[in-house]
Amino acid sequence: MKKTRRFLLLYLLHGWLLPEVGWAQDYLDSGECLVENNVHCDRWPPALDNSKRAVVLFSRALNQEASCTGALINQDVPQDRLRQYLLTAKHCIDGGNFNIQWRFIFNYQSPDCLASSVPHDNRGNFFIGNTRVGDAFDVRYEHQSRVRLVDEMGLGDMAMIEILDPIPPHFNPYFAGWSVAYGQGTQLPNYAIHHPETDIKKISQTFSTTTQTNYGCHVVTKVVDGFVRLFGIRMRTETICSYTESPFWLTAFWNDGAIEQGFSGSPLFNSNARIIGALSGGAGTCEFPAAVFHGRLSTFWNRSGAVRSALNPDNRLIFGVPGRQINCYPDLNLTGRYFPARDYQPQNRIVIRSANRITAGSLNAANEPQLVVFPGADFVFNANSEITLTPGFEVRAGATVAFNIVPCTAPARLSAQEPDSEPVTESNPAAAGEKPTSALLTASPNPFGATTIGYRLAEAGSVRLWVTNLLGQEVATLVNGHREAGEHTVVFDAGGRPAGVYLYTLQTSSFIESKRLMIVK
């Protein structure tokens, strides 16, 4: 996919052209359909609030611009055994050197629905020509670390790495929950949290995620009577047909938002706010928000003993865990620049807790403080036994800090078989209170050569029912016009269309739903 960079071009009165002006971190580079899809827009369900913090941009070297997305993922362990695992796409780590520092960018996002709310010093380096101008801080929350490969999966395009150097507590990291339970991807809607074109963090929503399925038939010969000496051998042939699930989730189209370059490796969340996949690729854009493939975490789990050992090291009978944040660290030696959290999320106060001691700040060789709390920030430091403030701890005017000697206890493991919480309290767009009465019914027969599709309408109105292939291309329009409330059917004859997987979609003014069809020959 060709990447288009947007730059502001300035002209002098006499027509001279100044050099290109732009953000190196690709701030505002995503498409028009994502302008109002920032992660803190009010329309997103509250269950995703914490999961947003798990999603990060990264690059495989310090001198490379971030080009992929990944997500911190939780494990079925007590907090003192928690590791910093990141789930992403295999092609995002191919060719990476695991002996050097990688870049991980946290909290590159707006605190509300407006891109303009992102502070200038968290938009990436600003350039005029080849000269960087403005604030020295290109992004506020960059973590540099060596990494370790846990495992990778070629067919399915998934990888898990471990970030080896501790993520600073003031980055406010979160470890997202996950699920490998059967059918989790079909608990719609699903949500992608991503950095399109490496822009600030966005959310896209879909009601059309399905499991790709390969369908095949073969002929076998069975012995009917094995009493050869008395009766001879009698045999018969049977045709056996079976389904084989693909290692990918397919999103036929996005109901809100789209995918773009820089989305690779980004997590797909189900309606319980659990990771079920990581983006591999697809043909979608804002102009054509369709045909996107996510590697399936359940396939990665089934095929990789290393992944199972990482996420479930005690080999307990689980299918997923909820997410968590670290609310009780061991001894902490804190440094860094502490900015207001309200610049990337609605809540400003950050509480950092230690089960033992906190040492805040240090001085570098130039005698400069190495922990600076900036104006507007609000941090609370709690320790069980001791807090030490060094000469390298600086609080600037307008910042708020507090120190408390209070105990903290890390919680026990958080595992639970799915579902372990109520689903995200958002339904299909048709649902506004009561359970919707509109429905797209199962096609019968399926697989088929010709099939009958049923649908039910809660009210009269304009209706469209159509069929697409896996590329999102429309192959048949079955209904397009006014229909009365009630149950209806329509026949879809596959005709000369190739065998394979198709999707049929019903849309009204307040409802949309997709299901899978299988054409066989």
Token pair of 196, please?
């399109």
Phi-psi group of 481: left, alpha or beta (phi > 0 → left; psi -120 to 50 → alpha; rest → beta) = left
pLDDT for residue 6: 39
Name residue, tokens 């269309």.
Answer: 497
448 and 498 in contact (C-beta within 8 Å)? no
Check the CA dihedral 28-30-32-38 and report its sign. negative
Query: In this structure, are residues 327 and 353 in contact, taking their beta carbons and an 8 Å threshold?
Result: yes
Task: Report CA-CA distances (Å) from 120 to 108, 139, 306, 503.
Answer: 11, 9, 41, 44
pLDDT at 414 (0 to 100): 52
Architecture of domain 31-117+142-209+247-321: Beta Barrel (2.40)
pLDDT tens across the length of the chain (521 residues): 334 443 333 322 222 233 343 334 455 556 677 778 888 899 999 989 999 999 999 989 887 776 789 999 999 999 999 999 999 999 999 989 999 999 999 999 989 988 778 777 767 654 444 444 454 447 889 999 999 999 999 999 999 999 999 999 999 999 999 999 866 665 678 999 988 777 889 898 888 887 655 545 555 554 444 444 444 445 555 555 554 568 888 888 888 887 776 578 999 999 889 999 999 987 667 777 667 889 999 999 999 999 999 999 998 888 899 999 998 999 999 999 999 999 999 999 999 999 999 999 999 999 999 999 999 999 999 999 999 999 999 999 999 999 999 998 766 555 443 434 333 333 333 333 334 457 776 676 766 678 889 998 988 989 989 888 765 678 889 999 999 998 899 999 887 788 877 878 888 877 777 777 778 76
At the topology level, CATH places domain 439-519 in Immunoglobulin-like (2.60.40)
pLDDT reported for residue 358: 97
* Amino acid 266: pLDDT: 94
pLDDT for the residue 136: 43
pTM: 0.72
For the chain, give the number of residues: 521
Cross-sheet strand order for the sheet of 142-145? 142-145, 102-105, 55-59, 68-72, 85-88, 158-163, 147-153
Which residue's entry shows tokens 């369900």?
Answer: 45
Domain regions of the chain by residue span: 31-117+142-209+247-321, 212-245, 332-405, 439-519
Look at residue 509 in the predicted model and tell me its pLDDT: 75
133's tokens: 């101008």
